[in-house]
Amino acid sequence: MDYFSINSLREANAGWSLLRAQNASLALTFFMSAFTVPNQRNLGRQDLIDVLEDILFSLRDSLGEDRFPRTAAEYLDDWAEPGKAWLRKFYTDNRDEPVYDLTAATEDVIRWVEALRGRDFVPTQSRLSSIFNLLKTLVHGSETDPEERLAELQRQRDDIDAQMQQIRSGDIPVMSSPEAIDHFHQLTTQAKDLLADFREVETNFRKLDRNLREQISMWEGSQGDLLESIFSSQQDISGSLQGRTFQGFWDYLMSPALRSELHELLDRATRIEALTNQDGLQSITSMQKDWLPAVEQTQATVRQLSAQIRRLLDDKVYLENKRIMALIRSIESSSVAVRTNLPSGTFADLSGHDVPVALPFERPLYEPSRQIAIHDGVGVAEDLDVDANALFTQFHVDPQRLAGNIDAVVTEAGQATLADITDAYPLSQGLAELVTYFQLASESMWATINSDRSQTLSWTLPDGSLREATVDQIIFVRPS
């Protein structure tokens, strides 16, 4: 970065303006107390006013009544102004009062100020190990030579065999206490950083949406070109680098196997003897619970942006149709005005309209249609032993019953695959019931059909025979 880039950030960046503000200490104290320390987002106006009034009362009691002369509501409105943008003020569907949340720039300042205090313990060994592991994953994962890939896998297998042999011989290497504390501090730091990054991810999505809105507002081309541009831009939001990495994180987090493994590892980490006296040890078990609301809010933001783009497009189509109807009315009025007094000469020139010419000899000769002989005799069929019970053994699959099965399992577990639901409520109506589950999943916004993974479901027919079906994985999530 050069001088002009840094000076532009100094003048326009919201985080830099927060550090330069006269009441920066008050604002940062309030932001930490209300948002980052309790790990909360999207707080109502009155709740924030109550927190800020408590902070102001405590400070005025120590520094004097005239130290902060403005009210809590005035400070809150000032910090949410577009000129400062330290807080984002918006409305949600289920609340009448405005809701506030930290902006990405404000959270960056908070993390930087917290880092100024210094750290009693700085993890270095675990960081070096992470760098080596990331570098190995990058290099070997990008290798296209099959011999190199096989050699690396062979080396890893040899290392695993050597470790297994060492353990069988009674020599069990255990991580030392400093190493365990080192890795624990890096774990908590990266977990906090990941949770803080979601605000910046949401901001990046909003920037993509804002660029698309500007394009729609300034569009002067045809309607068809506008639609093509909108659809391609909508793909840019989900197909951008930010969108693809976020979707990959969402798919990873929604995997039942990976979530179960993560929960088990976090639970086992709290029982490590070397970490018994570490602060925040028990809080790491709720790590994925903290991630889910933040990820769901980012997903909801993407859905909301898509809906707003659709409404903006509908408004533009409505205005275009209104303009077309005004032109038609103008043409009709002009036609009525000249009905009794026709203009002389050429009334109108229509380009591109001509009379098609077809020469007689270009037409094919007449070809009579062929007569097809049809034998219309009806013979008498022989008596056949046909079971007519199949006409009367029809059954109906009740979608409400299946939806109740889904709600019962998801309410208890938070999320479940179709295999989990059929384990709890076995298929009793065979393939028809399985198809109805797919219909419910395709119509629900709380279900995801993952075509990259498959699952095998089975059921038993009335005659005792077993049937199996391999289908795409369906994940049902409890509505928020």
Count of beta carbons in the 10 Å neighbourhood of residue 168: 9
Which residue type, as a one-letter code, is found at position 397? V
Distance between CA atoms of residues 444 and 144, nearest Å: 41
Q: Which helix (H) or strand (E) holds 18?
A: helix 14-20
pTM of the model: 0.45
The separation between the first and the last C-alpha atoms of the chain, rounded to the nearest angstrom, is: 43
pLDDT-based confidence at 125, cuts 50/70/90? low
Inter-residue contact 435 to 469 (CB < 8 Å)? no
Q: How far apart are CA 278 and CA 281, in angstroms?
A: 6
Q: Would you tell me the crossing angle of helices 24-31 and 72-79 to the nearest 10 degrees? A: 90
> Three-state SS for 470?
strand
d(CA 462, CA 283): 51
Token code pair at residue 41: 């987002």
User: 406 Cβ partners below 8 Å, 6+ apart?
Assistant: 416, 421, 440, 476
Contact 59, 28 (CB under 8 A): no
CATH 3.10.20 fits 3-116, yes or no: no
Decide: 30 and 57 in contact? Cβ < 8 Å: no
Average pLDDT, the chain: 78
* pLDDT tens per residue across span 146-160: 888 888 888 889 988
- The model's pLDDT over 388-409, given as tens digits with 9 standing for 90+, comes to 666 666 778 888 899 889 988 8
Q: For 59-74, what is each residue's pLDDT tens digit?
A: 988 888 888 888 999 9
What's the mean pLDDT in 208-237? 63
Q: Residue 53 CB: number of other CB atoms within 10 A?
A: 14
Contact present, 470 and 419 (Cβ < 8 Å): no
Distance (Å, rounded) from C-alpha 179 to C-alpha 123?
A: 9
Model pLDDT, residue 304: 67
Question: In the sheet that 43-44 helps form, which strands lie side by side, from edge to edge?
Answer: 43-44, 99-102, 87-90
- Number of CB atoms found within 10 A of residue 15's CB: 19
Range list of H helices, 378-464 = 399-413, 418-424, 431-443
The predicted pLDDT at position 262 comes to 73
Distance CA 213, CA 291 (A): 30
**Which ranges constitute the DSSP H helices of 93-240?**
104-116, 125-141, 146-168, 177-217, 223-239
